Amino acid sequence: METIAPSLFDISVTRLDNTPTALGEYRGKVLLIVNVASKCGFTPQYAGLEALYQKYKDRGLVVLGFPCNQFMWQEPGDADAIQSFCTLKYNVTFPMFAKIDVNGKNAHPLYKHLKREARGTLGTKSIKWNFAKFLVARDGTVVRRFGTATRPEKLEAHIEKLLGDAPTA
């Protein structure tokens, strides 16, 4: 029987530098969680994700990038290659995490939680491609799921609404 974390903040993740951490570190923040890849037609969305992070981080937004190699092997690199690519090509400064699976029997508990809380188009559960986006409120509630084709800049109104004027804790 699968153990279900009581909340998103109870889920453990591993940073790209192999440091374990708990999502509880982000309690009180608005989160934009994205499965990313460096060799995908949507990879230029890194620029938009970084722009959102820079624009809203002081108000409490954190973008969390989770590399995934499940879609046409579009994230083949190891942690060093991913870090180098993101830094040199897109100047990514938002937190990046170790490569994970988002679908299937080895799906990371984070993605099991996200998919359970916010279904995709027509109620689908599985992630269809890289750069699917989940918007999470400060209290850990998964508010909305956005598909791959939704450009990061199209999320601003949703982010603004969640940021409001609340303290960033």
Catalytic residues: 40
Full DSSP string of 10-78: G-EEEBTTS-EEEGGGGTTSEEEEEEE-SSSTTTTHHHHHHHHHHHHGGGTEEEEEEE--TTTT---S-
Question: In Å, how far are 30, 71, 97 from 6, measured between CA atoms?
Answer: 19, 29, 22
Nearest-angstrom CA–CA distance, 169 and 164 = 13
3-state DSSP percent of the chain in helix, strand and coil, to 5: 35, 20, 45
